[in-house]
């Protein structure tokens, strides 16, 4: 699946949706496919401060453990409890209901656009 055009991406296979000063973060379709069935999601507490690039959560599949990195610096304003309760939505709808956290950021780092991310995952 080609990466949706309206999102930004990181080299750690996360997507970022920028709306005002809030970034919604999830993992890409490529990432969920590589992980396999997601069976456990751990997310940071709402209100916690996250540093750019810090490990803030975990996405476990039956076979491996993926880390959730903060793609922006700021404060967690929402964590997707549905993804914690029913981790399979991360596989089934990674760009939609399977989002993971929303972070209010102070400064936006450089992120990849869809074309650059697709290039990263197809080489």
Partner 1 sequence: MPDRVPPLAEVHAAAGAQFTDFAGWQMPLRYGSELAEHRAVREAAGLFDLSHMGEIVLVGEEAGAALDHAVSGRMSALEPGRAKYTLMLDEAGGVVDDLIVYRTGGDRFLVVANAANAEVVAEELRRRASAFDTRVFDESADVALIAVQGPRALEIVLAAEGFAISGGHPDGHDVPEVLGALGYYRSVAGFFRERALLIARTGYTGEDGFELFCAPDHARELWEALVEAGAPFGLVPAGLAARDTLRLEAGMPLYGHELSAERLPATAGLARAVDLGKPGDFVGKDASAAGPADGAQVLVGLAGEGRRAARAGYELFASAAADAAGIGAVTSGALSPTLGRPIAMAYVDPAFRAPGSTVFVDVRGTRHPYTVTALPFYSRKRTS
Report d(CA 120, CA 62) in Å as an integer. 25
Strands 49-50, 14-19: pairing kind: unpaired
Element (H, E) at 90: helix 88-92
Tell me the site size for partner 1, rule CB under 8 A: 13
- Among 80, 91, 95, 117, the residue binding partner 1 under the rule CB under 8 A is 91
For residue 62, the minimal CB distance to partner 1 (Å) is 5
Position 48 contacts partner 1 (CB under 8 A): no
Position 36 contacts partner 1 (CB under 8 A): yes
32 CB burial (10 A radius; 0-12, 13-18, 19+): buried
- Among 22, 33, 77, 93, the residue binding partner 1 under the rule CB under 8 A is 33
Nearer residue to partner 1 within complex by CB, 20 or 123: 123
Half-sphere CA count of 93, side-chain side, radius 13 A: 10
Position 93 contacts partner 1 (CB under 8 A): no
What's the token pair of residue 48?
């916690």
- Which residues contribute to the site for partner 1 (CB under 8 A)? 33, 36-37, 39-40, 42, 58, 60, 62-63, 65, 87, 91
């Amino acid at each position: 699946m080609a990466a949706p055009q309206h999102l930004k991406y990181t080299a750690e296979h996360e997507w970022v949706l920028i709306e005002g000063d809030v970034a919604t973060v999830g993992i890409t379709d490529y990432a969920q496919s590589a992980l396999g069935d997601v069976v456990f999601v751990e997310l940071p507490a709402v209100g916690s401060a996250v540093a750019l690039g810090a490990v803030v959560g975990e996405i476990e599949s039956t076979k491996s453990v993926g880390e959730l990195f903060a793609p922006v610096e700021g404060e967690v304003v929402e964590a997707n409890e549905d993804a914690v309760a029913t981790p399979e939505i991360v596989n089934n709808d990674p760009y939609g209901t399977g989002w993971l956290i929303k972070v209010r950021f102070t400064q936006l780092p450089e992120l990849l656009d869809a074309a650059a991310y697709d290039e990263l995952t197809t080489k």
